[in-house]
Chains A and B, each alone.
Chain A
Amino acid sequence: DTEVTQTPKHLVMGMTNKKSLKCEQHMGHRAMYWYKQKAKKPPELMFVYSYEKLSINESVPSRFSPECPNSSLLNLHLHALQPEDSALYLCASSPQVRHRTAAYEQYFGPGTRLTVT
């Protein structure tokens, strides 16, 4: 099973709402990632979790709050978002972030299309 699942597929939220995005993988991967992708642009890294610990935060505003409750699950909590946060949010996983001279393939989920009104 090389699948990363994400829910919901679509989300519309107001600027005062609180919502969460969910990502799950059952490949035994120990690194998980959140990316943001705007239309016609490549994905931009937001967060990296390694062994359930946040290892990288790419200077993401605090209105985005990631959480890794266990090795299979990654959440992104959203609060007080702005219309410019509307984008496709992608989750990815890999066996590890890196190991010595080798690096690992990242597997992406289908994404959540977020619209902030």
Chain B
Amino acid sequence: KQEVTQIPAALSVPEGENLVLNCSFTDSAIYNLQWFRQDPGKGLTSLLLIQSSQREQTSGRLNASLDKSSGRSTLYIAASQPGDSATYLCAVLPQNSGGSNYKLTFGKGTLLTVNP
């Protein structure tokens, strides 16, 4: 059964700092990995999608990498701003043959606070 773990559970940094959020998954047979942002009480905003054949994706100050063989992904945020404060979720779409390969498996998220 695929399990996704995110470390740390919470992170507080001063504005302007570069930071890395970590995501690990137990089964490397995945279609893709998605990073989401969620503000309190709001829906999920998709930040980056990495297909299983890709190594990284970039969007503005965000860079996500994928090392499928080791079951790891990182989300790098450059020059953090208070507006980046949110919960960041990673999710994988597993390729398993158990009939659940339509179903995103989410980590529990990292709560990021960027202090002015």
A-B contact count (CB 8 A): 58
In the complex the two chains form, is B102's CB within 8 Å of A105's CB? Answer: no
- In the complex, A56 Cα to B104 Cα: how many Å? 13
Chain B CB within 8 A of A103 CB: yes
Contact size range, B: 20 to 34
In the complex the two chains form, is B102's CB within 8 Å of A48's CB? Answer: yes
By a CB distance below 8 angstroms, the chain A residues around B103 are 45, 56, 58
By a CB distance below 8 angstroms, the chain A residues around B89 are 42
- In the complex, A106 Cα to B48 Cα: how many Å? 11
Partner pick for B43 among A41, A48, A101, A108, CB 8 A cutoff: A108
9-residue interface stretch from A62-70, A72-80, A109-117: A109-117
Number of residues on chain A facing chain B (CB within 8 A)? 26
Partner pick for A45 among B34, B41, B101, B104, CB 8 A cutoff: B104
- In the complex, A99 Cα to B100 Cα: how many Å? 15
By a CB distance below 8 angstroms, the chain B residues around A113 are 41
Main SS of chain A's interface residues?
strand
* 22 A-B interface contacts by CB (under 8 A): A4-B43, A42-B91, A42-B108, A43-B44, A43-B104, A43-B106, A45-B103, A58-B103, A88-B41, A90-B43, A102-B32, A102-B51, A103-B31, A103-B51, A103-B93, A105-B49, A107-B46, A108-B45, A108-B46, A110-B42, A110-B43, A111-B43
